[in-house]
Structure 1
Amino acid sequence: MNKLQAMEVFVQVVDAGGFTRAAENMQIPKATVSTLVQGLETALSVKLLHRTTRQINVTADGAAYYERCLRILADVREAEESLSRTRLSPSGRLRVDAPTGLASDVLMPALPAFFDRYPDIVLELGCSDRPVDLIEEGVDCAVRGGALDDSTLIARRIGVINFVTCAAPAYLARFGTPQHPRELERHRCVNYFSSKTGKTFDWNFTRDGERVQLPMPGLIALNDSNAYVQAGLAGLGVVQMTDFALLPLIRDGRMVPILDDWATDPLPIHVVYPQNRHLSAKVRVFVEWVSDLFASHPGMRVKAPPGQALPSLESAA
């Protein structure tokens, strides 16, 4: 039995909460996962996992062994990378998750430069507006916007997203152009709802010390940023969306900005990854690359009005 491989498999089983998920994450047969864990238990003469037909639970001995495995595997990887870093570029499969709009409008155009620099990395980019469980789904790191509520993740702030309110010319020609945010209560708005909670997000505006935050009336609510933009283009109502998604449409006249003398709250953006795990070379270089990308992107500049504070940020989620 390859003891290090067996340790890696055991850690994956504990992290993923099952043999099937661990096998999928590691891309090896489930039978191999089961055999390696059983081999560990035989070699150690202890029970590491309690198995039932529905779930697995870590024994007290298994929990202690899991912590030791994490440290041992981290030391081995660090030793290997310290020897190979000068002659080999980071390589292997890298699983990243990002919101749909950020992935299509910001990450995708910049990825050719990333692959020119790191040609041996194979990127699996999950694009969705739903929150993912990094451990359970085998994701190495993720780009996330807004409040962070998972204390098991390490977070690094990499920028902010700014928003613009606009509508299609045909909509404004039919319903008129609002001059104050409260006039939107008499309009149709395209709403966005959380994939996690199902709650529709309020809209907010600030100008000269006056702040307006309210739910918006509308015929449709969506939870995908690309579909949201298309709803605005179709004239279904006023939209409030990221400026990097809408500015090209504003420039070519397909969308018209409104209430542009009012500011909206910027949204903090973080890159997150699991704590208590060794940060591999491929994850480290992606985190540095995406941090530099967002720092230099014109759509990520802070545009909060004077006297308005950005949301408080922590170093950990």
Structure 2
Amino acid sequence: MDRIDAMRIFTRVLERQSFTQAAEDLNLARSTVTDAVKRLEQRIGVMLLERTTRQVTPTVDGEAFYQRCLSIIQEVEDAETAFSAVKPKGTLRVDVHGTLARHFLISKLPQFLSEYPDIELYMSEGDRISDVIREGIDCAIRVGNVKAEDLVSKKITLLDEVTVASPEYLAKFGTPTNVEDLRKHRMIGFRATGSSMPLPLEFVIDGKVHNVSPKVSIVVNAAETLVAAAKEGLGIIQVPRYHIKKDLASGALTSILDSTPPTPSPVSILYPRNRKYSPRVKVFIEWLDVAFDMSHPSKLG
């Protein structure tokens, strides 16, 4: 095993805080991973990792060496792709909202994997960003204005949002004709991960954004549950139009207050700053522009 491979193993162990999980990520035996780190420590003469029965954490020297390893690995990968015809290879871990993946990405993945046959794509579904680095995720695709200190964010597109309710709900409570009418209505609260309060309904009126919080009938934290609750007549919701396109077409949900729509929601890709120049992440980001194939909300209806 050469030094670059040993550095790759060490960085993955530190990120995952686990020899076992790093071994699984790299498709190596745990003993191989353990031996590689031990030899690395022996060669440079310092302890890089503190081991306990539950967790692996970097020493001060280990954290400093980790940053140097990342720079070296990135330089090597850049050199390999810049001066050869070799395409990126290896495992690429992507975390994305499930509905977003199923609507925009899955049908187009054969094209990406055909172009990059040596990339092994692992796609997980989630909405958290706090553990992106620790869980070894290369990049995450998120909806909304998401910011994290250790992550770089790049906006991909915008999602057209719509305000809807079920016909049964509107028959019971009436159809609001303006935002003021919402004081007599109910909404289904959506509480994003990390938030203690449900998000308000949002409307653009004369170019200005207005937030309204009607009485909440139920609070949920999953997009599928939000839509299901709305279809059962529990209240008004705001969601990306693509998510409920079939429900609008079938009449299961009805759009309301179309003259004062919510602001579009940005879709962004986030990736750890230390993987900014990873060839696998780079080509995936470039492909996402093709996968979404849209630059403004009118194309997302």
Q: Tell me which interval the TM-score lies in, with the shorter structure as reference length.
A: 0.7 to 0.9
- 1:173/1:163 CA distance change after superposition, 3 Å: same
Q: Shift in Å at residue 83 of structure 1?
A: 4.3
In structure 1, the residue corresponding to 2:186 is in which secondary structure? coil
Q: How does 1:259-298 map to 2 (within 5 A)?
A: 259-277=257-275, 279-296=277-294
Q: Is the 8 A contact 1:244 1:299 kept in 2?
A: no
**Alignment deviations for residues 67-114 of structure 1 (CA, whole Å, 9 cap, x no partner):** 332222222222332344x3x443332211112332222223333433
**1-structure distance, mates of 2:94, 2:281:** 9
Partner of 1:253: 251
Partner of 2:195, secondary structure, is coil
Q: Secondary structure at the match of 2:40?
A: helix
Q: Alignment partner of 2:219: what SS?
A: strand
Give 5+ residue unaligned stretches, structure 2: none
| Cα shift at 1:258 | 0.6
1:146 is aligned to 144
Matched with 2:96 is 98
Deviation at 1:157, TM superposition (A): 1.4
Is 1:206 matched with 2:207? no
- 1:15-94 to structure 2, matched below 5 A, reads 15-84=15-84, 86=85, 88-94=86-92
Task: Indicate the residue corresponding to 1:191 in structure 2.
Answer: 189
- Name which of 125, 128, 134 aligns with 2:126: 128
Contact residue 159 and residue 300 of structure 1 kept, 8 A: no
Q: Secondary structure at the match of 1:201?
A: coil
Quote how far apart the aligned CAs of 1:53 are. 4.1
- Provide the C-alpha distance between the structure 1 equivalents of 2:92 and 2:285, rounded to a whole number of angstroms: 11
Q: CA deviation at 1:169?
A: 1.7
TM-score by length of 2: 0.88
Query: CA offset at residue 187 of structure 1?
Result: 2.2
Task: Give the 3 Å change call, closer, same or farther, for CA 59–155 of structure 1 in structure 2.
Answer: same
**Structure 1 residues 48 and 158, CA, compared in 2 at 3 Å: closer, same or farther?**
same
Task: Name the CA shift for 1:62/1:218 in 2 (closer, same or farther; >3 Å).
Answer: closer
Shift of 1:138: 1.2
Question: Are the counterparts in 2 of residues 25 and 137 from structure 1 also a CA contact under 8 Å?
Answer: no
Superposed displacement of residue 139, structure 1? 0.9
Shift of 1:149: 2.6
- The secondary structure found in structure 1 opposite 2:65 is helix
How far, CA to CA, are the matches of 1:290 and 1:20 in structure 2? 31
Shift of 1:287: 0.2
Q: Tell which deviates more after alignment, 116-125 or 90-99.
A: 116-125
Q: Give the Cα–Cα distance (whole angstroms) in 2 for the partners of residues 54 and 119 of structure 1.
A: 37
Q: Is the 8 A contact 2:154 2:270 kept in 1?
A: yes
The CA distance in 1 between the partners of 2:187 and 2:50, in whole Å, is 52
Q: Kindly provide the CA deviation profile for residues 215-240 of structure 1, in whole angstroms up to 9, marking residues without a partner as x.
A: 23232222221222222222222221
Question: Could you state the TM-score of these two structures normalised by the residue count of structure 1?
Answer: 0.84
Does the residue aligned with 2:47 lie in a helix, a strand or coil?
coil
Match of 2:13 in 1: 13
Cα offset, 1:241, TM superposition:
0.7
1:136 CA drift (Å): 0.8
Give SS of 2:245's match: helix
How many positions carry a matched residue from both structures? 301
Write the distance in 2 (CA, Å) between the matches of 1:210 and 1:279: 38
Does the aligned pair in 2 maintain the 1:100–1:224 contact within 8 Å?
A: no
Shift of 1:266: 2.0
Please tell me the residue identity of whatever aligns with 2:216.
Answer: G
- SS of the residue corresponding to residue 113 of structure 2 reads helix
